[in-house]
Amino acid sequence: MSAEECDTKVTVRDLQRNAAAVLQRIEHGETITVTRRGKTVARIVPPDPAEDAINRAIADGYLDPADLARARTAAESARRHPAPTAPDEKPATQVLAELREEDSER
């Protein structure tokens, strides 16, 4: 099921006439798809709580936006620093390469 099938649809005209009521529904977590002549022109989603928390931390001076811009994602960090292995263990990449080699020999 696509995201659009779960959304409540309102026309541009209904949004203009009932903006306060539509915004109240969004405040309560509903996603609204706005249509014009049956075609989707916009999707209005409720705010992301994590994004709100980050914005509050920036406003309160706990986070610096420049530091956030330079921060690595979890995927970037994992590529730079592979998971450590015990001294008697092979790295996962080596085990995977050996398994692939065995499969190709069959």
pLDDT in tens, 14-52: 999 999 999 999 999 999 999 999 999 999 999 898 888
Query: Whose CA is closest to 9, among 52, 51, 38, 46?
Result: 38
Query: Whose CA is closest to 44, among 36, 52, 35, 56?
Result: 35
pLDDT in tens, 59-73: 999 989 888 888 888
User: What are the structural domains, with CATH classification, of the chain?
Assistant: 3-44 (3.40.1620), 49-105 (no CATH)
- pLDDT band, very low/low/confident/very high, at 84 (cuts 50, 70, 90): low
Q: pTM (2 decimals)?
A: 0.51
Query: In terms of pLDDT, which residue wins out, 84 or 42?
Result: 42
